[in-house]
């Protein structure tokens, strides 16, 4: 087991180095979610006048979205990177070493999680710079970072599963709009109980992304909301627990060796 | 104990789903410290054999032991003994040469304090010290092949698999790689299993050659012994005018068995005949040729004698078949 940790570190380092050397993988996940948040905050600010809206700052309300949107970006990027390794034969190179399957998966995910935390710190800094106050205080920021790491991990596992299952970067990219549908049909722009259209409200209620956004949102605008935290962490853990065996099996199949 | 560096294969078969038998019951044995050349055209089964021997593919039937370990039952032990440079170099274009070597050294379990030194040593050995900190995307084909070889050597393997290591390289890079492989065998006693579609490569490098065609080994032995098996030299004539080919073919047929060639007209000489006999007859009959050449048997002649096709022709056939399958 101890011999595997340097392997995890080496794979994680490669993942980070590759990402750092491709500005196209770093900048869009930082800039686009923040830009979308700024546009939404400007256009939907009057929503805060609705009776029952939980805050008078739409920016504080919308700040939760980049955390999840950024995770979706990095999931797709990580998935595409892994698929590329399959396509180029780099996975065969790795398979010929003493690398353990779980060490490869862990290393790749460590890189994704590290990037996810960096993104979360950036969104956090943008929010603070824009005057958003954290109702849950410094401890809430720590919980938010832990949650962001878990979101990156769970979505990273999903990306790894898709990458190893399909072995095609193009397929992964084609799934990007599907994940965005989950984001848009959620409570990203309005609290669920204020969504007037029935089917939209039902879809948002069934959509686990809503609970992830509401978990982050609760820490920012409400303080400590046990139910929102439980649903958010629960959704992420379920996604992770479902994706983990799928990703592991897909990796084993892909990294064929006797 | 020495035996532990060898390769033993018996009745090896590998079938692909909905595909042909890529490897069709081959037997071979490679002695420790030997360079074994596995020669054949594209699609003959060379790379599939390498994938099985390096544990990347399970065989459909048969057994294979590498370094004394069974490739199916003892995959991790086999991998710890071998270094592999596959046909597609599969390098990461965003990493530098040094990044690659450090990653590979870590994954192969080289102790931390030795990794940097080992990387440096190998970079110098393959002549990449000056390019060590450049991204691989800027490397030439020859540099990538040399880096691939260095990566295969990171953990000082006792057995080295090189799958068409010089395909696509310029002559200078090819010669440099041959020298490195020869050095590995001479100084480190590394056993080398080398696949190639180049006759010259097998002839120059290999102690013994196995010729594979359509998944079967059709001939095996030292290059000299294989060529001696063919025995008689061939005579090749280039007609001055293309329309003279049939007449020259009839003329040469008096001296031996016709050979299937594309560029010239050729016969394998009958025993007791030499070039002088033909030159005299050319003069006497007034046959008009641009060039007349006596050639000692080559490995291509061995391939031709065993399969009825030249290596070049077999490669073209394989390519045509591949296109047909893709088109179907």
Phi first, then psi, for residue A16 (nearest 5°) are -70, -40
- Minimal Cβ distance to B106: which of A10, A22, A258: A10
* Neighbour tally for A174: CB within 10 Å: 11
In a domain, B195, yes or no: yes
Phi first, then psi: give them for residue A219, nearest 5 degrees.
Answer: -65, -30
- The reply to whether B251 and B146 lie within a common domain is no
Question: Least CA distance to A18: which residue of chain B?
Answer: B94
In-domain check, residue B149? yes
Of residues B50, B41, B49, B45, the one with CA closest to residue B299: B41
Among A97, A103, A252, A255, the strongest candidate for a mutation testing the B interface, having the largest count of B CBs within 10 A, is A97
Beta carbons of B202 and B39 less than 8 angstroms apart: yes
**Residue located via tokens 């939907």:** A44
Q: Closest to B90 (Cβ–Cβ): which among A89, A97, A257?
A: A89
What Rg, from alpha-carbon coordinates, does chain A have? 19
Domain count, chain B: 2
Final residue belonging to a domain, choices B207, B227, B247: B227
In this structure, is residue B247 part of a structural domain? yes
Verify that B152 and B254 share a domain, yes or no. no
Q: Are residues B126 and B269 in the same domain?
A: no
**Contact check, Cβ <8 Å, B135/A22:** no
Residues of B in contact with A98 (CB under 8 A): 76, 79-80, 107-109
Domain count across chain A: 1
Question: What does the pLDDT look like over A159-198, one tens digit per residue?
Answer: 999 999 998 888 888 887 888 899 999 999 999 999 989 9
Whether residue B130 lies within 8 A of chain A, CB to CB, comes out as: no
pLDDT tens, residue by residue, A74-93: 788 888 888 999 999 899 89
Q: Which residues of chain A have a CB within 8 Å of the CB of B164?
A: none
Q: How are beta strands B21-30 and B7-15 bridged, if at all? A: antiparallel
For B292, other C-beta atoms within 10 Å of its C-beta total 17
Rounded alpha-carbon distances, angstroms, from residue A144 to A64, B106, B275: 10, 34, 88
Question: Which of B301, B283, B149, B160 shows the shortest CA–CA distance to B223?
Answer: B301
**DSSP conformation letters of A215-234:** HHHIIIIIS--HHHHHHHHH
Domain that holds residue B63: 2-227
Give CA–CA dist B220/B217, Å, rounded.
7
Question: Do B157 and B253 have their domain in common?
Answer: no
Among B227, B253, B270, where does a domain finish? B227
What value of ipTM does the predicted structure carry?
A: 0.84
Which residue, B175, B207, B227, sits at the end of a domain? B227
Q: What angle do CA A168, A169, A174 make, to 5 degrees?
A: 100
Minimal Cα–Cα distance from A88 to chain B, Å? 6
- CA–CA gap between residue B142 and residue B169 (Å, rounded): 6
Find the CB nearest A92 among B56, B72, B75. B56
Give the chain B residue nearest A91 (alpha carbons): B90
Q: Answer whether residue B288 is part of any domain.
A: yes
Based on the fold, state whether residues B192 and B99 are members of the same structural domain. Answer: yes
Look up the CATH number of the domain holding residue B257: 3.30.70
Pair (B77, B182) in one structural domain? yes
Does B57 sit within 8 Å of A256, measured CB to CB? yes
**CB-based contact, B107 to chain A, within 8 Å:** yes
For residue B311, being part of any structural domain is answered with no
Q: Give Cβ neighbours of residue A23 (< 8 Å, ≥ 6 apart).
A: none
The whole-number mean pLDDT for each consecutive block of 10 residues of chain B, a chain of 328 residues, reads 76 86 94 93 91 94 95 94 90 96 94 94 93 95 92 95 88 87 90 90 91 92 83 84 87 86 82 84 86 82 78 66 56
B190 and B244 belong to one structural domain: no
Is B209 in the same domain as B65?
yes
What order do you get walking across the sheet with B289-295 strand by strand? Answer: B256-259, B265-269, B234-239, B289-295
Pair (B159, B195) in one structural domain: yes
Is B315 a member of any domain?
A: no
Considering the entire predicted model, what is its pTM? 0.82
| B39 & B62 share domain | yes
Give pLDDT tens digits along chain A (258 positions): 557 889 999 999 999 999 899 888 888 889 999 999 999 888 888 888 888 899 989 999 999 999 999 888 878 888 888 899 999 989 989 999 988 888 999 998 888 898 899 999 999 999 999 999 999 999 999 999 999 999 999 999 999 999 999 988 888 888 878 888 999 999 999 999 999 899 999 999 999 999 999 999 999 999 999 999 999 999 999 999 999 999 999 998 888 777
Q: How far apart are CA A220 and CA A54, in angstroms?
A: 11
> Domain range spanning residue A154?
4-254
For residue range B144-200, list pLDDT tens digits in order. 999 999 999 999 999 999 999 888 788 888 888 889 899 999 988 999 999 988 888
What ranges make up the beta strands (E) of B96-171? 159-163
Is B301 contained in some domain? Answer: no
- Taking the C-alpha atoms of residue A229 and residue A250, their distance in angstroms, rounded to an integer, is 31
Q: Count CA within 13 A, CB hemisphere, residue B73.
A: 7
B31: domain CATH number?
A: 3.40.50.300
Distance of alpha carbon B89 from alpha carbon A155, whole angstroms: 31
CA B198 to CA B196: how far, in whole Å?
A: 5
Instruction: Kindly list the distances between the CA atom of residue A100 and the CA atoms of A79, B95, B101, in Å, as whole numbers in the listed order.
Output: 20, 22, 18
A258 CB near a chain B CB, below 8 Å?
A: yes
B70/B219 same-domain check: yes
Q: Cβ of A96 under 8 Å from any chain B Cβ?
A: yes
Q: Which residues pair with B266 in a beta bridge?
A: B236, B259
Non-local (6+) Cβ contacts of A41 within 8 A are: A58, A59, A62
Distance from CA of A163 to the nearest CA of B (A): 17
**B313 domain-assigned:** no
């Amino acid at each position: 087991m101890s011999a595997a940790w340097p392997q995890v570190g080496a794979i994680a380092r490669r993942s980070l180095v590759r990402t750092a050397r491709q500005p196209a993988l770093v900048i869009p996940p930082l800039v686009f979610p923040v830009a979308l948040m700024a546009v939404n905050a400007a256009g939907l600010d009057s929503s805060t006048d609705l009776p029952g809206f939980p805050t008078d700052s739409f920016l504080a309300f919308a700040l939760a979205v980049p955390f999840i949107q950024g995770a979706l970006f990095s999931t797709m990027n990580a998935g595409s990177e892994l698929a590329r390794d399959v396509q180029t034969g780099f996975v065969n190179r790795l398979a010929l070493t003493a690398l353990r399957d779980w060490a490869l998966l862990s290393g790749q995910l460590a890189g994704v999680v590290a990037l996810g935390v960096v993104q979360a710190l950036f969104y956090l800094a943008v929010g603070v710079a824009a005057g958003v106050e954290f109702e849950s205080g410094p401890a809430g920021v720590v919980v938010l970072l832990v949650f962001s790491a878990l979101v990156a991990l769970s979505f990273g596992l999903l990306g790894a599963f898709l990458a190893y299952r399909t072995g095609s970067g193009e397929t992964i990219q084609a799934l990007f709009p599907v994940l965005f549908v989950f984001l848009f049909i959620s409570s990203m722009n309005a609290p669920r109980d204020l969504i007037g259209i029935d089917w939209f409200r039902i879809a948002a209620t069934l959509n686990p992304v809503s609970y992830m956004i509401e978990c982050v949102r609760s820490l920012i605008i409400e303080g400590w909301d046990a139910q929102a935290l439980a649903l958010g962490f629960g959704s992420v853990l379920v996604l992770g627990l479902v994706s983990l065996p799928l990703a592991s099996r897909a990796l084993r199949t892909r990294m064929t060796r006797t | 104990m020495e035996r532990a560096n060898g390769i033993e294969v018996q009745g090896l078969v590998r079938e692909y789903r909905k595909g042909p038998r890529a490897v069709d019951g081959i037997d071979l044995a490679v002695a420790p410290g030997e360079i074994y050349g596995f020669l054949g055209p594209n699609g003959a089964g060379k790379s599939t054999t390498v994938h099985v021997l390096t544990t990347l593919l399970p065989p459909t039937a048969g057994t294979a032991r590498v370094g004394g370990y069974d490739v199916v039952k003892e995959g991790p032990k086999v991998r710890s003994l071998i270094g592999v440079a596959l046909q597609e170099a599969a390098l990461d274009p965003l990493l530098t040469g040094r990044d690659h070597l450090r990653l590979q050294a870590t994954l192969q379990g080289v102790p931390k304090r030795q990794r940097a030194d080992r990387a440096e040593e190998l970079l110098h050995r393959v002549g990449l010290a000056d390019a060590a900190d450049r991204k691989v995307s800027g490397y030439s084909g020859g540099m990538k092949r040399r880096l691939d070889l260095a990566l295969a050597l990171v953990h000082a393997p006792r057995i080295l698999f090189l799958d068409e290591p010089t395909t696509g390289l310029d002559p200078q890079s090819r010669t440099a790689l041959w020298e490195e492989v020869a050095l590995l065998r001479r100084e480190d006693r590394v056993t080398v299993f080398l696949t190639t579609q180049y006759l010259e490569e097998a002839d120059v490098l290999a102690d013994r050659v196995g010729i594979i065609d359509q998944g079967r080994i059709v001939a095996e032995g030292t290059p000299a012994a294989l060529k001696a098996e063919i025995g008689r030299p061939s005579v090749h004539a280039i007609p001055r005018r293309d329309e003279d080919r049939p007449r020259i073919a009839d003329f040469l047929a008096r001296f031996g068995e016709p050979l299937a060639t594309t560029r010239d007209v050729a016969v394998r000489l009958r025993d007791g005949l030499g070039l002088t006999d033909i030159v005299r007859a050319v003069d006497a009959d007034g046959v008009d040729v641009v060039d007349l050449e006596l050639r000692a048997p080559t490995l291509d002649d061995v391939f031709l004698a065993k399969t009825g096709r030249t290596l070049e022709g077999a490669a073209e056939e394989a390519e045509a078949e591949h296109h047909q399958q893709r088109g179907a």
